C-alpha cells in the first residue's frame, strides 16, 4: 500500500482531475490507478446493504444498486430511464423535496412509505433516505440517493405503542372496575370504563340464576338479563331502544352471544352484509335498527367464573370508528376475565360489601389523594423513540398528622421486567410510608429490603414529606433529580438535597434536607426523561428547566403543560413523568 519508510498512502487519491488528465495523455500508471479505483468503488457501491440510486434532473433512474433492485422487487433494467412513480406507484415520495435539492444543492433526508413488488411481511414498508446533488464543471447532472429500510423498527414502535396503551388501560381498570361486591355496580363500571376507551357501546348480559336449572338450553332462544349498557352520546337513544339495563333479551340459536357462551371463546365479526348481521344478532328483526345506528363491527367475550359461563360482554363500533381487531379482543377478554372474577365474588359475598372495597384498594395503581391543604396534578408521557414501557412511577400518600408524602421514582431499564419491578418498589414505599419515618429512613429501609429480596433492578427515588402545618418540606434522594420549587416573586429553583445511591444496591446512606414551604408555592417532581437530552450536560438541561417563567397562580395542569411545551418532550427519548403539588392557603 505504501513504500518502505513512507507514510500511509490513501487508497483513493484526491487528485482525480490530475490523474485523469495524465491518463488521457497516455501515462499507463495513471490508467491502471483509475481502473483500480473504479473497480473498488463499484464493488463498494454494488455490495452495500443500503439501496443506492442515481437520478437525472427529471428524477429518472440512471443507476440502481443490486440491493435497491431487491428492495423494489424489480431488476435494475426495469427501472432505468423511468421515474419511481412510473414503476412503483404505491410508494409515496415527496418529489418536490428532491427538486429543491437540485435547485440549491443542500442534501435532504426523506421518509418514503408504501409497497413495492418485493415480498414483505409488512402491510406498508418504510424507508429513510438521503439525497445529494451531483455536479460536473458547474453543471447539475442529477441526484444520488442512499436509502435504508426501517420497516421493522417502525412496526415495533407501533406494536409497542399498542402494548403500552393496553397496559395503561388494564392498569386503570384495576381501580375502576370491581370496586364493590355488587353485581350491577361491577357491570356498570365495566361498560362505563370501556366506552369510549375501546368501544362506541358496551353491554353486559348475565344468565339468570333464578331457577334451579342453570344449564344452557340445547335449542330455542336463550334469555339473558341485560345488567348494564353504556354508549357514546350519539348512540344513546338508539341503544336504549334495543334494550335498557334491567330488561331481558332473547338470543336466537347461532347468534354471536350463543356461539360465545357455548364455545367459551371470544367472537369477532365485521358486518359486511345483512345476512351475516342477521345471523349474529339476537334476532333477525333487529338488523335494520343496528344499521340505522351505524353499527358495523362487534366483539363478544364470555364472562367465565369458576369454570362456568355466567354471561357475556358485548362491544360494538359504529360510524367512522375502525373495525375491531385481534388486539382489541385480547384487551376485552382480559378485562372480562377480571370482571368475571369480581362478579363471582359478588355472588358469593353479597352480604360482605366492605371486603370488596378493601380488595380493590389493595390493587390501586394510581396515587392516593393528599390532604386537603395540598392540591396535586400529574402527567405521564411514554417515550417517543419506540422503546418498551418504562419503570417510572409516582405517588401521593396522605399520612397521619396532616402530612403528605410525594414520591417520584424511576426503575432502571425498560420492558416488562422494569414494569414488574416498578410495581414492587411502589408497593414497598407505600407500605413503609405508614411507619411515619422521615424520608431518609424510608429510603434506607427500602434499599435494604430490595437488596435482601434479590430484586435485580435498581431504582432512583425522591421522597418529599410536606408538612403544611409546620410550613416545611423534608426531602431525601436515592440517586434522583431534585424537586423544583416555584414560589411567588422569585424564579423557579431546584431544592438542594444530598444524593445517595439508587435503591437496591444495599449501600444506601441517605440524608434529609429541608426547605420552607411558603403558601401557594408549587413543587414539581419529575423523572430524568423531562430534562435529559442526548449530547447535553445535565446541568445545562436543569438550567433550561429552571429558566422557564411559571406563574404559581395558574392551574397545576397548565403549569405542567407549559413545562412540557417549552422543553419539547413530545418525542422524548425516555418516559416523562411529572408530579406537581401546591400548598393551599388557609382561609
Dump strand ranges (E) for 457-572. Answer: 459-467, 472-478, 484-486, 493-494, 499-500, 513-516, 522-526
Q: How far apart are CA 462 and CA 479, in angstroms?
A: 8
Residue 180 confidence (pLDDT): 76
Specify if 490 maps to a domain: yes
Task: Measure the CA–CA gap between 34 and 325, rounded to whole angstroms.
Answer: 59
**Residue 113 is assigned to a structural domain of this protein:** yes
- Asked if residue 90 and residue 225 are part of one domain, the reply reads no
- Which of 122, 149, 176 is a domain's end point? 149
Burial of 576 (0-12, 13-18, 19+ CB in 10 A): buried
3-state class (DSSP) for residue 431: helix
Whether 214 and 307 map to the same domain: the answer is yes
CA distances from 382 to 388, 512, 572 (A): 9, 31, 8
Please indicate, yes or no, whether residues 374 and 349 belong to a single structural domain of this protein: no
Residue 479 to residue 494: CA distance in whole angstroms: 15
> Strand 308-318 relative to strand 267-270: parallel, antiparallel, unpaired?
unpaired
Cα separation of 567 and 579, whole Å?
Answer: 16
Exposed, middle or buried by CB within 10 Å (0-12, 13-18, 19+), for 10? exposed
Q: Confirm if 503 and 461 have CB atoms less than 8 A apart.
A: yes
Co-location of 431 and 384 in the same domain: yes
Q: Using an 8 Å Cβ cutoff, are 574 and 388 in contact? A: no
Q: How far is CA 288 from CA 251, 277, 281, 503, in A?
A: 17, 10, 11, 61
Q: Which residue has the cell 410525594?
A: 406
Q: What is the CATH number of the domain that holds 97?
A: 3.30.450.20
Domain boundary among 361, 384, 404: 361
pLDDT of residue 8: 46
Q: Which residues of 192-205 are buried (b: 16+ CB within 10 A; e: fewer)?
A: ebbbeebbbbbbbb
Read off the C-alpha cell for 417: 421486567
Q: Which of 361, 388, 403 is the last residue of a domain?
A: 361
The length of the chain, given as a count of residues: 587
Evaluate whether residue 68 is within a structural domain.
yes
Residues 166 and 227 in one domain: yes
Beta bridge partners of 251: 222
What integer pLDDT is reported at residue 106 of this predicted model?
Answer: 94
Per the domain annotation, does 303 fall within a domain?
Answer: yes
Greatest extent of the chain over all pairs of C-alpha atoms, in Å:
108
Does 24 reside within a domain? no
Strand 472-478 relative to strand 403-414: parallel, antiparallel, unpaired? unpaired
* Claim to verify: residue 263 and residue 354 sit in the same structural domain: yes
Give the Cα separation of 149 and 342 in Å (integer): 47
What's the confidence (pLDDT) of residue 213?
44
Mean pLDDT in consecutive groups of 10 residues from the start of the chain, 587 residues: 44 52 61 74 80 91 89 88 88 89 93 87 86 90 90 78 71 78 86 90 86 51 90 88 86 91 91 84 88 91 88 92 89 88 70 32 49 86 57 88 92 72 86 91 94 86 93 94 88 92 90 90 92 86 90 88 86 81 75
Structure confidence at residue 387 (pLDDT): 44
Q: Give the CATH number for residue 212.
A: 3.30.450.40
- pTM value? 0.42
Closest CA to 305 of 274, 261, 361: 261
Sort residue 563 into left (φ over 0), alpha (ψ -120 to 50) or beta: alpha
Whole-number Å distance between alpha carbons of 338 and 360 = 12
Shared domain for 133 and 215, answered yes or no, is no
What's the total number of domains in the chain?
3
**196 shares its domain with 73:** no
CATH code, domain carrying 434: 3.60.40.10
Separation CA 505–CA 164 (nearest Å) = 29
d(CA 218, CA 240): 29
CA atoms within 13 A of residue 503's CA, in its CB half-sphere: 35
Same domain, 348 and 407: no
Q: Which has the closest alpha carbon to 269: 291, 302, 299?
A: 299
Q: How is residue 271 written as a grid cell?
A: 358486518
Same domain, yes or no: 241 and 102: no
pLDDT at 57: 92
User: Quick one: pLDDT at residue 267?
Assistant: 94
The pLDDT of residue 27? 61
* Domain shared by 373 and 482, yes or no: yes
Residues 345 and 354: their CA atoms lie apart, in Å, by: 12
Residue 521, in any domain of the structure: yes
168 is in which domain, residue-wise?
Answer: 157-361
The predicted pLDDT at position 475 comes to: 96
Q: Are residues 379 and 352 in the same domain?
A: no
Q: Is 116 within the bounds of a domain?
A: yes
- Is 11 a domain residue? no
- Residue from 442, 451, 455 nearest 395 by CA: 442
Amino acid at each position: 500500500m505504501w513504500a518502505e519508510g513512507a507514510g500511509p498512502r490513501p487508497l483513493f487519491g484526491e487528485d482525480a482531475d490530475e490523474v485523469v488528465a495524465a491518463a488521457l495523455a497516455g501515462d499507463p500508471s495513471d490508467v491502471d490507478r483509475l481502473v483500480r479505483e473504479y473497480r473498488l468503488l463499484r464493488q463498494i457501491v454494488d455490495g452495500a446493504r443500503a439501496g443506492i440510486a442515481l437520478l437525472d434532473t427529471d428524477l429518472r433512474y440512471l443507476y440502481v444498486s443490486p440491493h435497491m433492485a431487491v428492495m423494489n422487487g424489480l431488476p435494475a433494467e426495469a427501472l432505468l430511464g423511468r421515474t419511481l412513480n412510473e414503476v412503483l406507484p404505491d410508494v409515496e415520495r415527496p418529489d418536490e423535496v428532491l427538486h429543491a435539492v437540485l435547485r440549491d444543492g443542500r442534501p435532504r433526508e426523506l421518509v418514503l412509505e408504501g409497497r413495492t413488488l418485493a415480498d414483505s411481511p409488512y402491510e406498508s414498508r418504510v424507508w429513510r433516505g438521503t439525497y445529494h446533488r451531483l455536479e460536473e464543471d458547474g453543471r447539475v447532472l442529477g441526484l444520488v440517493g442512499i436509502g435504508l429500510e426501517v420497516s421493522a423498527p417502525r412496526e415495533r414502535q407501533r406494536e409497542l405503542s399498542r402494548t403500552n396503551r393496553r397496559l395503561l388501560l388494564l392498569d386503570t381498570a384495576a381501580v375502576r372496575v370491581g370496586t364493590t361486591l355488587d353485581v350491577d355496580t361491577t357491570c356498570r363500571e365495566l361498560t362505563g370504563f370501556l366506552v369510549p376507551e375501546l368501544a362506541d357501546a358496551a353491554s353486559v348480559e348475565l344468565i339468570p340464576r333464578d331457577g334451579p336449572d342453570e344449564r344452557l338450553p340445547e335449542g330455542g332462544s336463550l334469555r339473558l338479563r341485560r345488567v348494564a349498557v353504556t354508549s357514546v352520546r350519539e348512540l344513546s337513544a338508539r341503544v336504549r331502544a334495543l334494550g335498557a339495563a334491567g330488561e331481558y333479551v332473547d338470543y336466537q340459536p347461532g347468534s354471536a352471544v350463543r356461539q360465545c357462551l357455548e364455545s367459551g371463546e371470544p367472537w369477532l365479526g365485521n358486518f359486511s352484509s345483512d345476512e351475516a348481521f342477521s345471523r349474529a344478532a339476537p334476532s333477525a328483526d333487529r338488523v335494520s335498527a343496528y344499521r340505522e345506528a351505524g353499527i358495523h363491527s362487534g366483539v363478544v367475550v364470555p364472562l367465565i367464573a369458576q369454570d362456568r359461563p355466567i354471561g357475556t360482554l358485548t362491544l360494538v363500533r359504529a360510524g367512522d370508528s375502525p373495525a375491531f381487531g385481534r388486539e382489541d379482543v385480547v384487551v376485552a377478554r382480559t378485562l372480562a376475565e377480571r370482571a368475571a372474577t369480581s362478579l363471582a365474588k359478588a355472588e358469593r359475598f353479597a352480604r360482605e360489601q366492605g371486603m370488596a372495597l378493601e380488595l380493590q384498594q389493595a390493587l390501586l395503581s394510581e396515587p392516593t389523594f393528599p390532604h386537603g391543604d395540598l392540591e396535586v396534578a400529574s402527567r405521564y408521557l411514554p417515550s417517543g423513540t419506540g422503546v418498551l414501557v418504562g419503570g417510572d412511577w409516582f405517588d401521593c400518600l396522605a399520612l397521619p398528622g396532616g402530612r403528605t408524602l410525594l414520591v417520584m421514582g424511576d426503575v432502571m431499564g425498560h420492558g416488562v421486567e422494569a414494569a414488574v419491578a416498578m410495581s414492587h418498589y411502589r408497593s414497598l414505599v407505600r407500605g413503609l410510608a405508614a411507619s411515619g419515618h422521615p424520608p431518609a429512613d424510608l429510603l434506607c429501609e427500602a434499599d435494604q429490603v430490595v437488596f435482601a429480596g434479590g430484586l435485580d433492578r435498581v431504582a432512583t427515588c425522591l421522597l418529599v414529606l410536606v408538612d403544611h402545618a409546620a410550613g416545611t418540606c423534608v426531602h431525601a434522594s436515592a440517586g434522583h433529580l431534585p424537586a423544583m420549587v416555584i414560589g411567588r416573586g422569585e424564579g423557579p429553583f431546584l431544592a438542594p438535597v444530598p444524593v445517595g445511591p439508587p435503591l437496591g444496591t444495599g449501600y444506601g446512606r441517605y440524608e434529609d434536607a429541608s426547605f420552607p414551604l411558603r403558601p401557594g408555592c408549587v413543587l414539581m417532581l419529575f423523572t430524568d426523561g423531562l430534562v435529559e437530552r442526548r449530547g447535553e450536560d445535565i446541568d445545562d438541561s436543569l438550567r433550561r428547566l429552571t429558566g422557564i417563567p411559571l406563574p404559581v397562580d395558574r392551574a397545576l395542569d397548565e403549569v405542567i403543560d407549559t413545562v412540557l411545551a417549552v422543553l419539547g418532550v413530545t418525542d422524548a427519548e425516555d418516559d416523562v413523568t411529572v408530579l406537581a403539588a401546591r400548598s393551599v392557603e388557609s382561609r
